Amino acid sequence: MMNRRCKLIWKGTVRLTLACVWLVGCAVGPDFKDPEMGTPEAFRTRAMPATSADDLKWWELFDDPMLTTLIETALENNRDIKIAVSRIEQARATVGFTRADQYPTLNGRAGASTGNYNAGSRSTTGTNSTFYLDAPLTWEIDFWGRYRRATDAARAELTASDYGLKTIQLSLIADVAVSYYQLLDYHQRLQISQSTLDTRVKSLEIIQQRFDKGIIAEIDLNQAQLQKEVAQAAIPLYRRAIVQTENRLAVLLGRLPEPIQTGRKLSDQPIPPDIPVGLPSDLLERRPDIVQAKYLLKAQTDQIGVAQALRLPSISLTGTLGVASTEVGSITSEGGVWSVGGQVLAPIIDFGKNKRRVEIEEEKTRQALYQYEATVLNAFREVEDALVAITTLRDELAATDRQQKAAKNANMLSNQRYDKGVTSYLEVLDTERTLFDVELQLSDLQEQYLSAFVNLYKALGGGWLRREQESQEKNTRPQRPMHYTTRLDLD
């Protein structure tokens, strides 16, 4: 009899549950659609034909095995990457945690009591004992879609965190590449300074001999000493810059500060080919930070629905099935108990608290929309800046290279003229200063030119990761497609 009664009760509960699920209506609150953002038809700076840059890989552009090794090490060990991966796992757990609120909660409960006091009054029959074992069930029906909205928001945040990881990866690789080229630049400047110092030491020895013989004035000797010390002072400057850049690179690699091995010299680095930048409109889907901002906007939009649902009545069902008795021995044979109930809770007077909650979420959503638009605008600025940097640095580098060759030849001729007594030593000093400055400037421009390609590829937002890494990323993303039909009206 007990088992039959239990089966009937649970069948009725299941039917009631299914009926409530069927009655659940559409979720309140605005649905989400990709925000509309105007894009230019073409970039300002003339670039390659508008083809896709998604298939380009960084190793196809920067042919330096040592740089490749450093980037792969950074992707594996960098602490910011590990933090971003942990955030993805946290967001995935949050989805499950939030989704659980949509379903009933079943608990197990057992207890015993004895005494002459029960339910707020004294018993007239003396001491009573009660023993019970039951399974209470509670379920707040998601009639207004509050929990579904919260779950959708959690899913959007999970997707956003996934794109956040890729954004960090792009920034990391760009930082490693730029720091690597800066390190090569400082090594080259140190070599230039040491070579210049060697040349000026030899010149000073000759000038000293001439001064000792009374051939030249003391001012020529002083000028030679001055130029020698200028080159001498540049050496510790670039040594310090090398160590500091190595320390920065080591931290990016997830290591303690240590020396960094380099590959080709800066002057031997191949110039990357021109990068096809694609159509400006493609940038909205290719830049991970833009996609991340879009999903954060979607998550915040869903929070409006959560807030609106709190203004409406909530419907809760409760049920209990178990056994209870005043005697432990008869608790299983004669102690069957059950109960089914429902409750409607509706806010009546809250002094505008729930309304203000909705307004708060709407303003947060408006802020998220503005953040998305700002991210888009900044992305186009970064692409334009990188394009114009490549174009202008190419011309500046070519002109400085010609200037360096002319300065080198002028220095050679001025030394010959001075040896023959045709000109003063001031002319030699001027050409030496010019040559030294131009060589340092040329090294700096070479580094800037290579870094400009890195910045352009980062600004385009595609192709940095290995194919197997991209496949692994796709497998970790939420598989459920999201389709939205109505654009959020915030104006």
Give the integer Cα–Cα distance in Å for 230 and 196: 10
Please say whether the beta carbons of 143 and 24 come within 8 A: yes
- Those residues with Cβ within 8 angstroms of residue 453's Cβ, 6 or more apart along the chain or in another chain: 61, 62, 272, 275, 390
Range scoring the smallest mean pLDDT among 101-105, 283-287, 357-361: 283-287
Task: Give the CB-side neighbour count of residue 200, counting CA atoms within 13 A.
Answer: 27
Domains and CATH numbers, the chain: 29-105+147-312+352-476 (1.20.1600.10)
156 DSSP assignment = H
**pLDDT(165) > 80:** yes
Residues linked to residue 131 through DSSP beta bridges, in sequence order: 112, 325
Task: Give the CB-side neighbour count of residue 249, counting CA atoms within 13 A.
Answer: 27
pTM score, two decimals? 0.80
- Closest of 435, 93, 150 to residue 309, by C-alpha: 150
**pLDDT(276) > 80:** no
- Closest of 10, 36, 67, 480 to residue 272, by C-alpha: 67
∠ at Cα 80 (74, 85), nearest 5°? 100
If DSSP states are collapsed to H, E and C, what string results for 258-297? Answer: CCCCCCCCHHHCCCCCCCCCCCHHHHHHHCHHHHHHHHHH
Phi first, then psi: give them for residue 345, nearest 5 degrees.
Answer: -120, 120
Give the integer Cα–Cα distance in Å for 122 and 99: 45
**pLDDT(198) > 70:** yes
Q: What pLDDT does residue 36 have?
A: 76
More confident residue, 275 or 174: 174
Number of CB atoms found within 10 A of residue 41's CB: 8
Give the integer Cα–Cα distance in Å for 113 and 128: 8
Q: What pLDDT does residue 408 have?
A: 92
Q: What pLDDT does residue 400 have?
A: 95
Please say whether the beta carbons of 183 and 241 come within 8 A: no
More confident residue, 473 or 201: 201
**pLDDT digit string (tens) for 36-72?**
777 666 666 655 544 444 444 565 577 888 998 999 8
Query: Virtual CA dihedral for 353, 356, 357, 359, nearest 10 degrees?
Result: 170
Please say whether the beta carbons of 144 and 315 come within 8 A: no
Give the integer Cα–Cα distance in Å for 250 and 263: 16
Please say whether the beta carbons of 183 and 249 come within 8 A: yes
What angle, rounded to 10 degrees, do the helices at 65-77 and 79-99 form?
A: 40
Cα–Cα distance list, 179 to 71, 173, 238, 242, 259 (Å): 11, 10, 14, 10, 13
Please give the span between the terminal C-alpha atoms of the chain, in angstroms, as a whole number.
64
pLDDT band at 422 (very low <50, low <70, confident <90, very high): confident
Average pLDDT over residues 22-45: 68
* Burial class for 446, CB neighbours closer than 10 Å (0-12, 13-18, 19+): buried
pLDDT band at 78 (very low <50, low <70, confident <90, very high): very high
Kind of pairing between the strands at 109-115 and 314-325? unpaired
